């Protein structure tokens, strides 16, 4: 009697959200990772035909595109669709699979495009815009805007253009977001995100000063048992998802610090949760306790200054500054940068003015 095959789908579904705070699931939740062990009694068959039989919801075209992007491994080696499977072969398949729980209705919503070609679109997202419909945010999202923008347009292959997400950023985080315009580009870009080879740098204003000029935060992230909207670092290495954030100081203001964060992984609220974990919550980050006065004096004048700062930037001080990736067709390295938005720049200017005034007063 043949041994049953083993198949595991390693995708974690996003949790419902009512506030808009956690409407962005983990970066790797955008992908399905299938692991299949071929039956002992399985007859020889082409790899693409076998996968189409086993993964009925996935088209042969998508399987071939995944193989072209080296997203199908047999015994840990990239394999072609024509490979002839053998009993006990271990097949791993990585496929982008953004959730389609909600219908994407085209809506005429303005958004800022900084680059577009036949395969990709780079958007500079404003703070306050949700990327994908979810519980509590059924429309008014970037995908609704993209559906309107691409409505009636056709790609270079003559097919209607469909926007595909390959990563996400939080609702109240501003900055750069990469969109694929066809399935093949989506798969090739998804592989880069899955392998953490995408270059992403963020600017963040955080509470407190640092003793060092740079450092690295390593800590698995999981949903907080106290607040399911938030993420927390867990000590058990078998729990949560591996996350690494590199940081270095850009400018010190005494009570707060402007830092650059480089993501080695891309988890839900990674920078926000990691910074709180080391005692430096993001400025005005309500979910992670940064919307309170955590450093500074008790003088009423200082309290009023902080209140004014919260009004200038009524969101967490986080901006997706740079984005670098290998183009899915030309294979050239692409780099993009987004300047700090007006609210973030105004916040930095207020702190700079305050710091200089305090320094002059102390010297006087």
Average pLDDT over residues 57-81: 83
Q: How confident is the model at residue 184 (pLDDT cuts 50, 70, 90)?
A: confident
Alpha helices in 15-59 (DSSP H): 47-54
- For the chain, give the percent of residues with pLDDT over 70: 88
Q: Is 23 noted as a catalytic residue in this protein?
A: no
Is residue 85 within 8 Å of 45, Cβ to Cβ? Answer: yes
Dihedral angle at the C-alpha atoms of 269, 318, 124, 101, nearest 10 degrees? 20
Specify whether domain 6-96 bears CATH 3.10.290.10: yes
Answer whether residue 21 shows pLDDT above 90.
no
User: What is the pairing mode between strands 72-74 and 77-78?
Assistant: antiparallel
Q: Give residues with Cβ within 8 angstroms of 301, minimum separation 6.
A: none
Non-local (6+) Cβ contacts of 27 within 8 A are: 167, 168, 193, 265, 266, 267, 268
Average pLDDT, the chain: 86
Cβ of 357: how many Cβ atoms within 10 Å? 10
pLDDT tens digits, 77-131: 888 888 999 999 999 887 776 545 567 889 999 999 999 999 999 999 999 999 9
Confidence class of residue 287 from pLDDT cuts 50, 70 and 90?
Answer: very high
- The pLDDT of residue 29 is 52
Percent of the chain past pLDDT 90, that is, above it, reads 58
pLDDT at 34: 80
Catalytic residue among 89, 124, 170, 343: 170
Lowest mean pLDDT among 16-25, 95-104, 214-223, 307-316: 16-25
- Determine how β-strand 231-233 pairs with β-strand 72-74: unpaired
User: What is the average pLDDT across 244-264?
Assistant: 97
Task: Please say whether the dihedral angle defined by the alpha carbons of residues 265, 263, 97 and 231, taken in this order, is positive or negative.
Answer: positive
What does DSSP say about strands 45-46 and 120-125: parallel, antiparallel, or unpaired? Answer: unpaired
What are the residue boundaries of the structural domains of the chain, listed by start?
6-96, 196-364
pLDDT digits over 25-60, tens only? 344 456 667 888 999 989 899 998 899 888 877 777
Please identify, in words, the CATH class of the domain defined by 196-364.
alpha beta
Shortest CA distance to 204 belongs to which of 143, 267, 261?
Answer: 261
Is the alpha carbon torsion for 8, 10, 13, 15 positive or negative? positive
Name the nearest CA neighbour of 162 among 144, 181, 137. 181
Q: Is 236 helix (H, G, I), strand (E, B) or coil?
A: coil
Handedness of CA 239, 137, 275, 112 (dihedral sign): positive
Rounded-to-integer distance, Cα 148 and Cα 134, Å: 18
Query: How many Å apart are CA 361 and CA 350, to the nearest integer?
Result: 16
């Amino acid at each position: 009697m043949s041994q049953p095959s083993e198949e595991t789908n390693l995708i974690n579904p996003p949790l419902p959200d009512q506030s808009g705070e956690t409407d962005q699931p983990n970066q790797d939740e955008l992908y399905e990772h299938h692991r299949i062990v071929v039956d002992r009694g399985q007859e020889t068959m082409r790899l693409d035909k076998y996968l189409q039989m086993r993964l009925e919801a996935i088209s042969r075209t998508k399987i071939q595109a995944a193989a072209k992007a080296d997203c199908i491994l047999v015994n840990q080696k990239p394999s072609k669709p024509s490979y002839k499977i053998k009993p006990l072969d271990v097949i791993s398949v990585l496929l982008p699979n953004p959730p389609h729980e909600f219908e994407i209705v085209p809506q005429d919503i303005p958004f800022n495009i900084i680059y577009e070609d036949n395969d990709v679109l780079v958007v500079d997202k404003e703070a306050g815009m949700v990327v994908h419909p979810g519980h509590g945010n059924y429309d008014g999202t970037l995908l609704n805007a993209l559906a309107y923008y691409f409505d009636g347009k056709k790609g270079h292959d003559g097919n209607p253009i469909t926007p595909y997400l390959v990563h996400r950023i939080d609702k109240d985080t501003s900055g750069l977001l990469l969109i694929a315009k066809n399935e093949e580009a989506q798969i090739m870009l998804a592989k880069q995100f899955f392998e953490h080879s995408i270059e992403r740098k963020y600017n963040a204003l955080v509470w407190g000063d640092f003793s060092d000029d740079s450092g690295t935060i390593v800590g698995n992230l999981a949903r907080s048992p106290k607040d399911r909207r938030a993420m927390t670092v867990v000590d058990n290495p078998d729990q949560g998802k591996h996350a690494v954030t590199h940081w270095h100081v850009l400018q010190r203001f005494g009570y707060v610090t402007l830092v650059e964060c480089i993501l080695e992984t891309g988890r839900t609220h990674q920078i926000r949760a990691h910074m709180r974990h080391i005692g430096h919550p993001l400025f005005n980050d309500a979910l992670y306790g940064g919307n309170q006065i955590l450093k500074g004096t008790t003088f009423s004048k200082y309290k009023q200054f902080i209140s004014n700062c919260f009004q200038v930037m009524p969101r967490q001080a986080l901006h997706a500054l740079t984005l670098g990736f290998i183009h899915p067709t030309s294979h050239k390295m692409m780099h993009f940068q987004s300047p700090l938005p007006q609210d973030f720049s105004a916040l930095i200017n207020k702190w700079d003015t305050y710091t200089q005034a305090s320094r002059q007063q102390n010297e006087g």
